[in-house]
Amino acid sequence: MTIQWFPGHMAKARRQVTEKLKFIDIVYELVDARIPLASRNPMIDEIITNKPRLVLLNKADMADPKITKEWINFYKSNGIQALAIDSQTGTGLKQIITSSRDILKEKFDKMAAKGIKPRAIRALIVGIPNVGKSTLINRLAKKNIAQTGDRPGVTKAQQWIKVGKDLELLDTPGILWPKFEDQLVGQKLAATGAIKDTILNLQDIAVYVLNFLKEEYPERLKDRYNIEELPEEIVPLFDEIGKRRGCMVAGGYIDYDKTSELILRELRSQKLGPISFEEPKQFEENESNE
């Protein structure tokens, strides 16, 4: 799905999420484990204000496990619980309920002390497009999409999905926009496939990816493309990869579009292994420079 975000759309998206906050106990903020910062909404803290939150680092199967652990610790040191999950296979999803109970313990204990009957935790999933919201909902839902329209304060149109007996999810997630005015954020979103290739220049994205891999994962590049010594400059590196993979045009020249496409396809289909584009360390450095 390609969404064009105009100021009107943003205001509407925000309003829709704000409306739903009334019905729920906790927000599940879904981000891409490979780019936890670039894949979050820049105004999320303002939008969900003081609702308890659980951060779900989705697509953890595609991220560098060591860096994902660092992110979880980073969130923890900022007082936020985060979990690594893979919504496609269901890995890590069981922990969602346990962590939610933990986060909401005080609220539910207070309710119990007032004599209010225990009930399931009510949650809303929010995240930018393509982060995996529908995949997660479908995984959690199995076949339990239940209409429970007669709950006080909940309109008939609001559908809840039962996840076991302890959790209920609003069936439509909150869709929020990324920080797309930032070029680097755009490149990261494009590299991971969150935004369509037609929006950004393919070669620009591939240049970003190659520069990044050259710095952070040089051995993976060497192994994948059979290159003994990585060239310093980016164009000779493109040439090497293009030549080795037969991405050529008449006259023996490299077809840079085809080479770019190949690199991105192989990155997204994990031919280069699990890769994370953001580390908490960089984030902390940026913060202290600002």
Contact residues toward ligand G4P (CB under 6 A) are 58-59, 61-62, 86-88, 127, 129-135
Q: Which lies closer to ligand G4P via its Cβ, residue 58 or residue 259? A: 58
User: In angstroms, rounded to a whole number, what is the distance separating the alpha carbons of residues 8 and 15?
Assistant: 11
CB within 8 A of 127, min separation 6: which ones? 29, 30, 31, 39, 40, 41, 58, 133, 173, 174, 175, 176
Q: Which lies closer to ligand G4P via its Cβ, residue 1 or residue 113? A: 1
Shortest Cβ 117–ligand G4P spacing (Å): 33
Q: Which lies closer to ligand G4P via its Cβ, residue 60 or residue 202? A: 60
Shortest Cβ 84–ligand G4P spacing (Å): 10
Shortest Cβ 68–ligand G4P spacing (Å): 12
172 is written with which tokens?
Answer: 């439509």
Shortest Cβ 197–ligand G4P spacing (Å): 12
Residue nearest to ligand G4P (CB): 132
The maximal CA–CA distance of the chain, rounded, in angstroms, is 81
Shortest Cβ 130–ligand G4P spacing (Å): 4
Q: Which lies closer to ligand G4P via its Cβ, residue 61 or residue 171? A: 61
Q: Which lies closer to ligand G4P via its Cβ, residue 133 or residue 256? A: 133
User: In angstroms, rounded to a whole number, what is the distance separating the alpha carbons of residues 227 and 110?
Assistant: 62
- Of 111, 108, 65, 109, nearest to 85 by C-alpha is 65
User: In angstroms, rounded to a whole number, what is the distance separating the alpha carbons of residues 127 and 13?
Assistant: 11
